[in-house]
Structure 1
Amino acid sequence: MLENTLLLIISLLFVVSMLAMLSEKLRISYPILLVLAGLGISLIPNIPHVSLSPDIVFIIFLPPLLYAAAWNTSWNDFWRYKRPIFMLAFVLVLFTATTIAFVAHAIIPDFSLALGFLLGGIVSPPDAIAATTVLQGLKIPKRITTILEGESLINDASSLIVFRFALATVFTGQFVLWQAEVNFFTVSLGGIAAGLLLGNVIYLVHRFLPTTPAIDTAITLISPYLMYIAAEHFHCSGVLAVVAGGLFSSFCSHRVFNYSTRLQSTSVWSTLVFLLNGIVFILIGLQLPDIIKSLEGYSITAVIGYAVIISLLTIVIRIIWVFPGAYLPRIFSKRVRAVEERPSWKSVFIVAWSGMRGVVSLASALSIPLTLNNGQSFPHRNLILFITFIVILVTLVLQGLSLSFLVKLMNVEEEAGDSESQQQKAIRLRMATAVMDFIESEYADDVAKIDAFNRVKGRYARMIEIANKNLLDDENKDNTPAFLPRYRTFLLEIVAIRRKELDSMRHEKRYSDELLRNTELELDLEEARLRR
């Protein structure tokens, strides 16, 4: 039994990896291919039967996915665009969940309003990974990606709180507004406090105990589970605990992690998030046949109709909300006009069209309990799972496949300012200037006497000269040094030649393997810097 389970898990990981390679080849965002693969797997006859405990799904998948999203979010950028982010992440989520609740209650027979809010809480949060992978490589305003990532971070928390309250209402059959409001603030504030408290404890461990890169990386993997389980133990929001703790840990990471830890943890986390995303979509594909067979008397045609209506509704609601939300505050608030630049309609439309649903919605649906407290089957569980999968399928395929085309069609990239490019050049200039000041104050005699020191000083002097020239020539792009792309290619070819020679040394078996691996790491770091 254990061997079969391990074989299934390893097979799933292999399939996910193959699909990712195929998505790179086809230049398609990998969540789109994963959801299509999940659908394809469900059509395979005699596929293995998979039964997952709902509690296990929530605990295994959600904490690391939320923590990774929080870790990769810039607090400064998040706070800069806090108004549009909170308008999307809280108000739009509540508006979407409420609208879907009433529509689902109206069109689906014997579907209670509490179940409607449960479904609304599941499908209301867009997925940042789907949007950012589609937009990756496109020259779009930084504001768009910042808002989408910040929104996804918070709307996961807000939607899951709606989900939890709706789930409690289904179990108890009671909903009192004032009690729900009090519980909402208690659960939310308690979760944030728990996350920040544990984040501080983990920070002290990293800062003052003799850890290694391997131990630091292991602690970052343990942290989200610790935050989530501790907060849930005290009946607070584990989701908000992970988000708050992740933001705090990310903000403090530069003080406690060295270069080796950062390189190692980044690689480990990117692999983990990728695999978790893939496994969830494959798992739903394995469960779809049983879900379809147990649709509780509904015809497949009717269920697909309900799912398509709700899918289109989620798209339309977002478009209806985003445009007034972007422009009405500017009309009524002088402060908003003074603080925020006016977004173009093209940028607003891209934000509105980037509402693809993803892995958090799927994990939430899979976490619905199998039975009620009295032992009866949870009402319409399979129907909710099926609708959730179709919503993800429709939004990922329809919006995901068309998003990059719309960006290019509307020339959104032309609106992207040069501020980020200028900041990058200014950063390099300041760093090079600081190095020059240090060399002149601490190593002036060595520079004058030793050629190696003088060459280093000359290199940074040239960096300052090029950075100054680029900053002055930003208004005229034709003046940017034409040799730089060829120069970068030249340096990469030199790295390739060194790798080839290193490979020859391995075959000679004359040199220490450890030294060869260290040299290879140096080449890896150099190539990463050049390609970046």
Structure 2
Amino acid sequence: METTHALWLLAVPVSALMVAALARRIGLAAPLVLVIAGLLVSFVPGVPEFELDPEFVLYVFLPPLLFSAAWQSSYYNLRENLRPIGLLSVGLVLFTTLGVGYAAHLLVPELPLAAAFVLGAIVAPPDAVAAVSVAQRLGLPRRMVTILVGESLFNDATALTAFRVAVAAAAGGGFTLAGGVGRFAFAAVAGAAIGLLLGPPLHWLRTRLNDPLVENGVAVVAPFAAYLIAEAVHASGVIAVVVSGLYLGHRFTESAAVTRLIGQSFWKIMVFVLESVVFLLIGLQLPPVIDGLSGHGWEQLAGWAVAIFAVTVAARFVWVFPSWYVPLWLSARVRRREAGVDWRGGVVISWAGMRGVVSLAAAFAIPYATSAKEPFPGRDLIVFFTFTTVLGTLLVQGLTFPALIRMLGVAGDRERYTDTVAEAGAQHAAARAAIERLDELTAGEDLDADVVQRLRDLAEHRQLRAWERLGGGTGPEGEEVPSATYRRLRREMLAAERRVFVRMRDERRLDDAVLDRILHDLDLEEAALARD
């Protein structure tokens, strides 16, 4: 039995990676395909029930996913969009909590108001993983992507704090409104303080270790340390992780090149595996959720579920447009500071409200009994409505999100052109600085002229390649530009070199350790070519 159980546990990540790989190959958003696959598999006879352990999700899955997103986010972009991010991550979460809570209380007689607010807090925070993956692939403007990412970084903190307050009220834990506001303020401020206190010493340690593996090991431990320390003092672990991740990511440029290469590769793999497993598990949750609803009619449950899903989606539209645009209409200063998003952008932001694993983890974390030792009111219904809302947003909004972006014509084509021009200008200035430094170093020295000329040619090549990209990689008549020719031919040369080294290893004329060092150098050069 233990071996069978272990094989099923192994089957989850293996299946998740296979489905995610298939989704990437056919050009679909992997989170959506994984949810559908998990949902279908859950009905297969013989498949055991997989229940998400909320503590496992919140303490193991959530910190690295949040940290990686914060690490890769731009501090400057987030700061420039602080108003819309705050309105979504705090204002919208609280608005959704109240709106869905009141609607659920009116619709479902079995749900007292406090328990209904628990449901509202659970389904309030969107998970932007699916939305952002689609948005980036379809070229959504950077400001929209920044807002969605920023919302996903901070809204979990608001929602989890509201969830704990609502659970305390529903369970008879002596809740007061003033106490709830105070708890929220303390959690946010203390969480941010812990993140800020952890960031500088961790960065100081990383920059002095001079060992890429150990430096990245510190980064792996950082999100768990921030989360656990914050939660230990009843602060927001989410905010602590996000703030520390933003700080370390902003200072990542001070690390060594090898450290950055290893770190970027590691976090891409880590996030890919964790997200794949999590979204597959979401789909596998249906059987245990259904088991607790034997006393209700399915027509009635379906009607309630559709209504709560509709209110959850509508709440985002009701909040986004007035909260976003009224300040722009009323304040010239706000209009000057922020590049306004037109109504099409508002629709895209409003529709990008897919829920995810945090909502399910919170639902399963609801206690089974109140402080009076009585069953928690409506727990099975709250879990069921959470699952149907998460599933509905992922499938309905997730599957239609790409079509909506294309239909509205919201894309960042001009932005990409501006980026390329800016990169070309920066490459030009950097190449000039490199050549000037080369002249300083070689002045008055009798050096090999061929070596100096190769270095000068390399700097000039980097100076020209960004300008060439403005033409899409081709010349005026469609011919291949020099930098593209260089990359194509150099890749073929590297492949030929690699085949020789591998053949010599197979003939035992070269040791594996030597081959590893040689291939590492070739791989670094090929990776640099891929980024041209």
TM-score normalised over the length of structure 2:
0.91
Amino acid at match of 1:232: E
SS in 2 for 1:341: coil
- CA–CA distance in structure 1, aligned partners of residues 25 and 460 of structure 2: 42
How many positions carry a matched residue from both structures?
Answer: 528
Amino acid at match of 2:95: F
Residue 20 of structure 1 and its aligned partner are, at CA, apart by 0.7
Contact kept in structure 2, 1:42 and 1:288, CA below 8 Å:
yes
SS in 2 for 1:396: helix
SS in 1 for 2:46: coil
Contact kept in structure 2, 1:57 and 1:367, CA below 8 Å:
no
Deviations 1:159-181 (A, max 9, x none): 22211211222222543212211
- CA–CA distance in structure 1, aligned partners of residues 368 and 446 of structure 2: 74
SS in 2 for 1:385: helix
1:442 corresponds in structure 2 to: 441
- Map 1:264-343 → 2, pairs under 5 A: 264-295=262-293, 297-343=295-341
Residue 286 of structure 1 and its aligned partner are, at CA, apart by 4.2
- Map 1:53-452 → 2, pairs under 5 A: 53-172=53-172, 174-208=174-208, 210=209, 212-255=211-254, 257-295=255-293, 297-413=295-411, 416-417=414-415, 418-445=417-444, 449-452=448-451
- CA–CA distance in structure 2, aligned partners of residues 100 and 194 of structure 1: 32
Residue 345 of structure 1 and its aligned partner are, at CA, apart by 2.7
Contact kept in structure 1, 2:157 and 2:188, CA below 8 Å:
no
SS in 2 for 1:386: helix
SS in 2 for 1:412: coil
TM-score normalised over the length of structure 1:
0.91
Amino acid at match of 2:39: L
Taking only the aligned residue pairs, the percentage that are identical comes to 36
- CA–CA distance in structure 1, aligned partners of residues 29 and 78 of structure 2: 24
RMSD (CA atoms): 2.7
SS in 1 for 2:171: helix
1:493 corresponds in structure 2 to: 492
Residue 285 of structure 1 and its aligned partner are, at CA, apart by 4.2
Residue 191 of structure 1 and its aligned partner are, at CA, apart by 1.5
Amino acid at match of 1:279: V
Amino acid at match of 1:101: G
- CA–CA distance in structure 1, aligned partners of residues 124 and 437 of structure 2: 54
Amino acid at match of 2:456: K
Residue 525 of structure 1 and its aligned partner are, at CA, apart by 2.3
Contact kept in structure 2, 1:304 and 1:387, CA below 8 Å:
no
Seen in structure 2, the aligned counterparts of structure 1 residues 313 and 470 have a Cα distance that, compared at 3 Å, is same
Amino acid at match of 2:214: I
Amino acid at match of 1:331: W
- CA–CA distance in structure 2, aligned partners of residues 111 and 413 of structure 1: 43
Seen in structure 2, the aligned counterparts of structure 1 residues 380 and 238 have a Cα distance that, compared at 3 Å, is same
- CA–CA distance in structure 1, aligned partners of residues 96 and 442 of structure 2: 63
SS in 2 for 1:426: helix
Seen in structure 2, the aligned counterparts of structure 1 residues 36 and 115 have a Cα distance that, compared at 3 Å, is same
Residue 79 of structure 1 and its aligned partner are, at CA, apart by 0.5
- CA–CA distance in structure 2, aligned partners of residues 309 and 397 of structure 1: 16
Contact kept in structure 2, 1:29 and 1:133, CA below 8 Å:
yes
Residue 316 of structure 1 and its aligned partner are, at CA, apart by 2.1
Deviations 1:320-378 (A, max 9, x none): 33233332222100101111223233333222222211222223223333444455443
Amino acid at match of 1:167: V
- CA–CA distance in structure 1, aligned partners of residues 468 and 281 of structure 2: 54
- CA–CA distance in structure 2, aligned partners of residues 479 and 164 of structure 1: 64
Contact kept in structure 2, 1:122 and 1:388, CA below 8 Å:
yes
- CA–CA distance in structure 2, aligned partners of residues 7 and 377 of structure 1: 35
1:18 corresponds in structure 2 to: 18
Deviations 1:431-482 (A, max 9, x none): 21111110111124568752121122133234435656878x99xx969985
- CA–CA distance in structure 1, aligned partners of residues 26 and 468 of structure 2: 39
Contact kept in structure 2, 1:446 and 1:453, CA below 8 Å:
no
- CA–CA distance in structure 1, aligned partners of residues 528 and 199 of structure 2: 31
Contact kept in structure 1, 2:355 and 2:389, CA below 8 Å:
yes
More off after superposition, 277-286 vs 480-489: 480-489
Contact kept in structure 2, 1:447 and 1:453, CA below 8 Å:
no
- Map 1:466-477 → 2, pairs under 5 A: none
- CA–CA distance in structure 2, aligned partners of residues 16 and 282 of structure 1: 6
SS in 2 for 1:342: coil
More off after superposition, 223-232 vs 484-493: 484-493
- CA–CA distance in structure 2, aligned partners of residues 505 and 376 of structure 1: 73
Residue 64 of structure 1 and its aligned partner are, at CA, apart by 1.7
Deviations 1:481-503 (A, max 9, x none): 85254554344333333333333
SS in 2 for 1:139: coil
Residue 3 of structure 1 and its aligned partner are, at CA, apart by 4.0
